[in-house]
Chain A
Amino acid sequence: MQKQLSEKRGFANNPIVRAIGLQRIVVVLAVILEAVLFSILSPAFRQYATVVSILDYSYYITFMAIGVTFCLISGGNDLSVGAGMICYALAGGFLVQHLGWPVWAGMLVTIAIGLCFGVLNGAMVAIMNLPPFIATLCTMLITRGLGSILTGGMAVSWPSRNSEGGWFRSLFKIINNGKIIPVGFAIVIFFIIVMSIVLNKTRVGRYIIAIGSNKEAARLSGVNVIKYQMLAYIISGFFAGLAGIAYSATFSSSVAPGTGAGLELDAIGGAIIGGTSMTGGQGSIIGTLLGVFVMSLLKTGLPYVGLQANWQQIITGIVLIVAIYIDVLKNKKTA
């Protein structure tokens, strides 16, 4: 028994394991296990088209999750990203579909409105000292209502692939003579690398981590807490805008007002599974990407093995409980 324990500790203390992070290794193994399991159980699952679909449906969640990771690490949260993402995409799409704006302008507006709501969230949390949960819950309601008001309650269709302005869909997927290239993954990887550098190698990231670890200590050390706490929410707003574009580009469906609330849970869930702490001060962008894939693989794979609808929610819930429990155990150990 003693030997087994010391072996376990030995594995956790292995320099390579410590460098990568035990939780990240577990999440990578979970992704591989899911992919292998679904591929064995369902021949239809193991095909290129399924991989492309999993990527398609993960882009917008990954973008939301990158932003949410910054908020979580700062000791807060952003519940507005789901409803917000739809609101920003509705506003941008409305300008394109009904007012004839060029698609690039609609995309810029989508991101700009996301940034504005990021500033609002940041101001409420950092300046007005509102609890992040409540503040962003309120902006979730505001964006949900605003999306309906801006479009007169109508669903909005961004240009389809073969119509004028449909080029923006090729930013995420190129379809040429039946060949499909999921180029959106390159965009995701680009932002993962950039935001990993921002989080780990820049003052912005280090201060956000410091605020999440101990806000008072950060303040006493001379960190401009208001500025950097706000920045976390502005980053989240920017990525919610980007998620709105990814959502509009990857789904043929029109963007419908009143939807989106609930999608933030996929993003928050992805971040937590990926090792971001609910209590702040810890987390990684690569971990978040992996966490999103755990969720996306479950969502896509479970129907292939005959587990329908409500089972997917139950299993996702269980996975989240496990991830949060690991976080609790880690915090206990640190304490």
Chain B
Amino acid sequence: MKKMLAIVLALMLVFSATAAFAADYEIVSKGFQHQYWQAVLAGAQAKAAELGVEINFVGPANESAYDEQLSQLNSAINAAPKAIGLAALSTETCLDAIKTAQESGIPIIGFDSGVPGAPEGAILANCATNNYNAGALAGEMVYAAIKDRIAAAEGTVRIGVSAQDAVSESVTQRGLGFIDKIGELAAADGYTVKLEGNEKYVNDAKVESVDDGKIVIETLVPSQVTAELSAIDCQNLLNKSDIIALYGSNQHSAEAMVTANENLQKLGTGEGQVIGAGFDSGAVIKAAVADGTFLGAITQAPFAMGEALVDTMVKAANGEAVEDIDTGCQWYTAENMNDEDIAINLYD
């Protein structure tokens, strides 16, 4: 019994010591599952060191752990920091906490996909990739690569989109940006488009879908986010006889394309091969771009995003005016991926 009491007391001491540490700035991310977040963290730490401020960077175990993120946000508010950085997994879940922060006068700066749908004035500024524009950039690059094939095709041609989900703001915007850009460029060339697959993407795209469209854009979303189900989706798309391009709108989906292609060997830039485009980096996607399996991929600027976030948080805490910052994105290929300005944003 005495031993148990000693252990409990020791644990309480550890917890109180932890609680006593309070950083000037609290950053609540979506977790560290993808190396992307490590690059955001590195950028934030670099800027914090430059400005001489202390940051506490946290995130939940995975991107479905809404409650865990809420608890981290509440802890951040309780620590009474000068400002909070927040990449919300679900705005709805965080609403009450955001109101509490607002009432306590703690400025919140959104980052990554930000805090879409937050109450007016709750988020002072967002430091984020414009995901819709990033998806559109992928669409533009893919369309340029398949333009001649569309013109030469007698029947329909199909462009596949593998999306991790139809809920997350960042993933859906990247998909919709891609679909809309293909639709826009196709219309300019006089082609019609038919949208197939997941209803969210079919309904929310700005493209007018016609039944006998020359270009079919099919978006598949797995019932669960597992490597297996996304790979099966990609395989299914790659096996369609009229497929000419496939796009994976985040690291998970792009890696699933690589898994699916291992047995089918259909992706590539050569004659008759299917053009592949990915999103984000990581060792698998970088290798696919380098060896020509993918035409290219979009990388966000996570390091710059981390830097911009801390910079904006400090400005907001000092009462300076802050505004939204598009931290940008780049299209990288085997040719330019080692250029200094791109390589800094690619991670393993």
Contacts and interface: CB of A to CB of B under 8 A. Distances in A.
Contact of A44 (B198, B240, B251): B240
B217 to A, nearest CB: 16
Nearest to B224: A262
B137 interface: no
A258 B232 contact: no
B236 A258 contact: no
- Interface bin, chain B: 35 or more
B246 to A, nearest CB: 15
Contacts, number: 128
Contacts of A57: 228, 231-232
Contacts of B221: 309
Contact of B32 (A144, A153, A312): A153
Contacts of A299: 228-229, 232
B207 to A, nearest CB: 20
A158 to B, nearest CB: 10
Nearest to B264: A49
Contacts of A157: 282-284, 348
A173 B262 CA distance: 10
A224 interface: no
Interface string B1-44: 00000000000000000000000000000011111011000000
B32 A309 contact: no
Interface string A250-274: 1111101111001100000000000
A63 to B, nearest CB: 14
B93 interface: no
A251 B228 contact: yes
Given A49-B264, A148-B61, A312-B223, A44 B31 contact: no
Given A44-B239, A49-B264, A180-B263, A251 B283 contact: no
A173 B236 CA distance: 20
B61 A253 contact: no
Given A44-B240, A154-B35, A303-B232, A160 B263 contact: no
A51 B345 CA distance: 38
B233 A303 contact: yes
Contacts of B255: 251-254
B265 A53 contact: no
A6 B150 CA distance: 64
B232 A300 contact: yes
A144 to B, nearest CB: 7
Contact of A252 (B34, B223, B262): B262
A248 to B, nearest CB: 10
Interface in B247-293: 251-252, 255-256, 258-260, 262-265, 282-284, 287, 291
B59 interface: yes
A308 interface: yes
Contacts of B61: 144-145, 148, 153, 257-258
Given A97-B348, A300-B235, 16 more contacts: A44-B240, A49-B235, A53-B263, A154-B38, A160-B287, A162-B291, A253-B256, A257-B32, A257-B62, A258-B60, A259-B62, A259-B225, A259-B226, A304-B239, A309-B221, A310-B223
24 contacts: A56-B263, A57-B232, A144-B61, A153-B33, A153-B61, A154-B32, A154-B33, A154-B35, A155-B35, A162-B287, A250-B259, A252-B258, A252-B284, A254-B282, A254-B284, A256-B33, A257-B33, A257-B62, A258-B60, A299-B232, A303-B232, A308-B197, A309-B220, A309-B222
